[in-house]
Structure 1
């Protein structure tokens, strides 16, 4: 098991983005990483200063189920003024990404605007992110859970969409991409039915750099290319 905060007031963003959040009591060095794993643990024991817990500055982009971090690293490069965060439940992958981020920070003075965290987003998403705080949410090639009895476990369903809508800013965007046609149809149905989202047209996405990235940045998207399979994406705006 791994710890989780009681609510966003307990999250110290300075340990994830030390270049952007200055902790006067303890400045985190580039050699330190905190990923909420056994190797790089985090404790959420007390309420954190408002300068550090997201009340003054927020995480902008969240990649839910970030895998090996391909999209996360590309978001950091393409949007250098935004703070991007990857969420992943598999501890070894989180350690791998965290160590890679640390190497870039130490050796090349890069990747200060990205971080990774181990958590179960289906259980603890709103314990990290405040209302109307996130600009973009990404769901890349999520588990399709093919059996009907497991549809409730799909990361995009009506209940979870309400949580995502709570965290997204008005005008913020939700991106979902898959190589499974049936799952894409599910995404379209559930998002279209939700009153707080509006599905965007291809014309509305022509200048969206993030939309282009979801097709070719992640390791999973490249795997789909190697198998010569199709990709299906939907983008919706928080209204």
Structure 2
């Protein structure tokens, strides 16, 4: 996970009782402009994305093993969803994609602290990147089976809506990296944004809504609202969430 900037290694940045990093040392601005140029390394193509750095437990000899990332958490925040899903799908490689450097560093340290010699939490990792620009640099065509967009920045101002992480044009790229039958999960506590996301997915010819009954039986859908820091805050405050699940279908 060396693509992420590292915070100070002083012991004060970690909890003495658990060894986990403390969020207060990694706080960052809540908003970022995904349309601005950022300075971080990006692989030229997916074959150059070094998985052995991120998942050494699965690539002990650093060879190009056939195992690939299947789940992507776009704008992963502090990594709550990754940590929740890791023991549920222990053999599935998952990655969080986060544009904010301090937040990505926190997730990196959190995962390192959780990993055990027995293999726990070795299937999750994080990369600091701009997924709105560079997603095809990390994933092959039809590679992903699940993509998550949990509590994305609503960008309320009309002039800033082009910064939203789900749009009809971006869905073309998401459809490219998703396999047929793969699922997109989106959750927000902003009703207008929820309607926007649903509308974009409804109008796109390569996505089809998953019915409420099917979604209710999905073990992933059951944890979406409670896995992240934002989700927990909404639950504590008695807020309402707006969730939708869509399936990638054949052209």
TM-score of the pair, normalised by structure 1: 0.85
User: How far does residue 180 in structure 1 lie from its aligned partner after superposition?
Assistant: 0.3
Alignment partners' CA distance in 1, 2:60 and 2:119: 17
- For residues 12-31 of structure 1, the aligned pairs below 5 Å read 12-24=50-62
Q: Is the aligned partner of 1:158 residue 2:196?
A: no
Alignment partners' CA distance in 2, 1:107 and 1:13: 19
Alignment partners' CA distance in 1, 2:126 and 2:118: 18
Q: Is the aligned partner of 1:148 residue 2:158?
A: yes
User: How far does residue 207 in structure 1 lie from its aligned partner after superposition?
Assistant: 1.8
2:82 — aligned with what? Answer: 72
User: How far does residue 106 in structure 1 lie from its aligned partner after superposition?
Assistant: 4.8
Secondary structure at the aligned position of 2:243 is classed as strand
Alignment partners' CA distance in 2, 1:13 and 1:63: 16
195, 212, 216: which is aligned to 2:226? 216
Question: Structure 1: 5+ residue runs without aligned partners?
Answer: 25-48
Secondary structure at the aligned position of 1:188 is classed as helix
Alignment partners' CA distance in 1, 2:170 and 2:105: 26
CA RMSD for the aligned pairs? 1.4
Alignment partners' CA distance in 1, 2:172 and 2:68: 20
User: How far does residue 108 in structure 1 lie from its aligned partner after superposition?
Assistant: 7.0
User: How far does residue 22 in structure 1 lie from its aligned partner after superposition?
Assistant: 3.5
- For residues 108-147 of structure 1, the aligned pairs below 5 Å read 109-147=119-157
Alignment partners' CA distance in 2, 1:63 and 1:99: 17
Alignment partners' CA distance in 1, 2:114 and 2:238: 32
Question: Structure 2: 5+ residue runs without aligned partners?
Answer: 1-38
Change (3 A) 1:107 1:23: closer
Contact 2:57 2:119 in 1 (8 A): no
Alignment partners' CA distance in 1, 2:116 and 2:100: 25
Count of equivalent residues? 211
User: How far does residue 109 in structure 1 lie from its aligned partner after superposition?
Assistant: 4.6
Question: C-alpha deviations, 1:161-206, integer Å up to 9, x for none?
Answer: 1111111110000000000000000011100000000011111212
1:197 — aligned with what? Answer: 207
Secondary structure at the aligned position of 2:87 is classed as helix
1:9 — aligned with what? Answer: 47
Runs of 4 or more consecutive aligned structure 1 residues displaced over 3 Å after TM superposition: 106-109
Question: C-alpha deviations, 1:203-237, integer Å up to 9, x for none?
Answer: 12122111111111111100111221100001000
Secondary structure at the aligned position of 2:220 is classed as helix
Question: C-alpha deviations, 1:137-173, integer Å up to 9, x for none?
Answer: 0000001111111111110001111111111110000
User: How far does residue 96 in structure 1 lie from its aligned partner after superposition?
Assistant: 1.2
